[in-house]
């Protein structure tokens, strides 16, 4: 790449379960300046008892975001797409979508997982390195086979959500390791789909698609879309299309061994590895070996995150009241009463009718005090982080000094400080735009051959404000330890 090519303008589509964002990263050779040119809400739609994603609305929103990006920048050099994991679409032999993708919030996979014995579950983990979870693509797909046999019977292709969007933009049907690992059909060691797993659940091998490598060009924007938007066609690059893997790519560390928390609707707590760790210790502690950037592994635990507080805020605003996130934090920080803790991963608060009501029941109080509920949620989340980090240290034998919190949740300074206090470790927060920055960084590797993970993380450090939180020495450590014991007693 010559200096005359600069700046490079890369579009990152960052699709979350609650918002769809189009971010342009303009790279000058050292720093990248990000600009959120479009952000629109996203949510699942309940139809006859099933939650679906409105794929056509998602696609149209991304096209609108691309049009806006092109209106603000003279050129767009490439595009990368990432979304949440596990969800997918099915297509027929002609490449037509058979239905809107189902949401992981459905219980369709629960029945399929419940039929497996403990030995079968362990076998599944040993084959893939991924924990058994009802939301995994595999169990959702098996549920569709049983409950929607007509759709399954004519399906000839399965595309994970980012792959499906890439197909709509380019016409190419491919996948990559990070999103494919969330299916629980991919071997974390070989990065190949496991024939025995597919056979066990009656899933045709031609339903899954070939893997591409990060930094490769998947295809070019369809000319019909370019003409519709009035823009020049540009390449679509293979990036880690699972948003967690993109976020970990942008962890601003120089350390070889580090803990990350990708904080958003979910909290993904883990560490980056060269090879997967598939043994009893990992299985018993409920960690998974998901695909990371450039063939690394993100050994992580999927834990509840800001979803709890998002639901609490939504309920508080039900009657027309408005609460900012500063208001929510202030209520927790100023609350002086008893703060019971609970298991934030309890099935009772996975998708409740009332988050506040279920937390009230979990902490055993008779009356709802919003400030107490919020304070309990924050403290319980921080203790869940500590518990997962201690498990990682047991698995790896490494004592980590720092916790890197990235993603939208990294901006919650209150939770960052509580996490530092409860873990006794330094918390490094930021960047907020970790997913987009990781996406953009890998796109740059398609333009600049030696733009490796170290250069990406250096770029992030050069570009973003990073803040540190150290444990508050004034806090009563005996009280923290006693409350941590109470937290562990809540766990199943």
Is residue 243 part of the annotated active site? The answer reads yes
For residue 25, which phi and psi values (nearest 5 degrees)? -110, 120
Beta-sheet strand order (sheet of 426-429): 288-291, 297-304, 266-273, 259-263, 402-406, 426-429, 467-469
CA dihedral angle for residue 201, residue 206, residue 207, residue 212, rounded to 10 degrees: 120
Q: Which helix (H) or strand (E) holds 9?
A: strand 8-15
Alpha-carbon distance of 423 to 131, in angstroms, equals 25
Q: Which of 77, 163, 187, 243 is catalytic?
A: 243
Alpha-carbon distance of 429 to 411, in angstroms, equals 7
Structure tokens at 264: 């958003």
- Please provide the distance, in angstroms rounded to a whole number, between the alpha carbons at the two ends of the chain: 54
Q: What are the distances in angstroms from CA 210 to CA 157, 172, 180, 263, 435? A: 11, 11, 10, 30, 24
Alpha-carbon distance of 51 to 429, in angstroms, equals 33
Alpha-carbon distance of 255 to 135, in angstroms, equals 33
Q: What are the distances in angstroms from CA 250 to CA 68, 253, 292, 321? A: 25, 9, 12, 37
Q: Which helix (H) or strand (E) holds 228?
A: helix 223-229
Contacts of 21 (CB under 8 A, 6+ apart): 13, 14, 15, 36, 38, 39, 65, 436
Contacts of 243 (CB under 8 A, 6+ apart): 14, 15, 16, 82, 83, 84, 85, 262, 264, 435
Place of tokens 């590895």: 273
Q: What angle do CA 20, 22, 24 make, to 5 degrees?
A: 160
Alpha-carbon distance of 95 to 82, in angstroms, equals 21
**Mind telling me the catalytic residues?**
243
């Amino acid at each position: 790449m010559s200096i005359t090519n600069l700046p490079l303008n890369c579009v990152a589509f960052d699709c979350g379960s609650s918002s769809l964002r189009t971010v342009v990263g303009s790279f000058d050779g050292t720093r990248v300046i990000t600009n959120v040119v479009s952000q629109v809400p996203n949510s699942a739609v309940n139809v006859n008892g099933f939650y679906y994603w409105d794929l056509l609305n998602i696609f149209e929103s991304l096209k609108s975001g691309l049009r806006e990006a092109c209106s603000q920048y003279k050129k767009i050099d490439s595009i990368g797409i990432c979304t949440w994991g596990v969800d997918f679409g099915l297509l027929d032999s002609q490449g037509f979508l058979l239905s809107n993708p189902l949401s992981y919030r459905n219980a369709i996979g629960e029945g399929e997982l419940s039929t497996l014995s403990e030995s079968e579950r362990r076998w599944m983990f040993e084959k893939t390195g991924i924990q058994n979870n009802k939301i995994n693509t595999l169990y959702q797909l098996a549920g569709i086979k049983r409950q929607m046999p007509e759709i399954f019977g004519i399906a000839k292709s399965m595309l994970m959500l980012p792959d499906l969007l890439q197909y709509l933009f380019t016409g190419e049907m491919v996948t990559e390791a990070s999103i494919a690992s969330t299916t629980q059909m991919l071997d974390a060691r070989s990065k190949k789909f496991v024939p025995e797993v597919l056979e066990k659940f009656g899933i045709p091998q031609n339903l899954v698609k070939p893997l591409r490598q990060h930094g490769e060009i998947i295809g070019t924007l369809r000319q019909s879309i370019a003409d519709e938007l009035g823009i020049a066609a540009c390449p679509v690059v293979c990036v880690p299309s699972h948003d967690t893997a993109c976020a970990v790519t942008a962890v601003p560390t120089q350390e070889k061994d580090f803990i990350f928390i990708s904080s958003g609707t979910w909290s993904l707590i883990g560490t980056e590895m060269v090879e997967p760790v598939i043994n009893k210790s990992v299985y018993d502690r409920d960690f998974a070996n998901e695909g990371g950037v450039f063939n690394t592994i993100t050994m992580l635990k999927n834990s509840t995150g800001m979803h709890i507080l998002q639901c609490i805020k939504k309920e508080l605003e039900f009657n027309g009241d408005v609460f900012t996130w500063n208001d929510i934090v202030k209520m927790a920080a100023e609350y002086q009463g008893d703060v019971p803790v609970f298991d934030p991963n309890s099935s009772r608060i996975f998708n409740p009718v009332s988050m506040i009501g279920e937390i009230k029941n979990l902490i055993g109080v008779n009356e709802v005090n919003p400030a107490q509920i919020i304070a309990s949620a924050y403290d319980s989340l921080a203790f869940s982080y500590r518990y997962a980090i201690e498990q990682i240290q047991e698995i790896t034998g490494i004592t980590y000094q720092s916790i890197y919190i990235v993603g939208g949740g990294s901006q919650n300074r209150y939770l960052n400080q509580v996490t530092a206090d409860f873990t006794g470790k330094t918390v490094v927060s930021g960047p907020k735009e970790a997913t987009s920055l990781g996406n953009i960084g890998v796109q740059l590797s398609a333009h600049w051959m030696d733009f490796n993970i170290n250069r990406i993380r250096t770029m992030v450090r050069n570009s973003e404000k990073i803040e540190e939180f150290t444990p508050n020495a004034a806090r009563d450590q005996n009280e923290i330890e006693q409350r941590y014991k109470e937290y562990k007693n809540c766990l199943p």
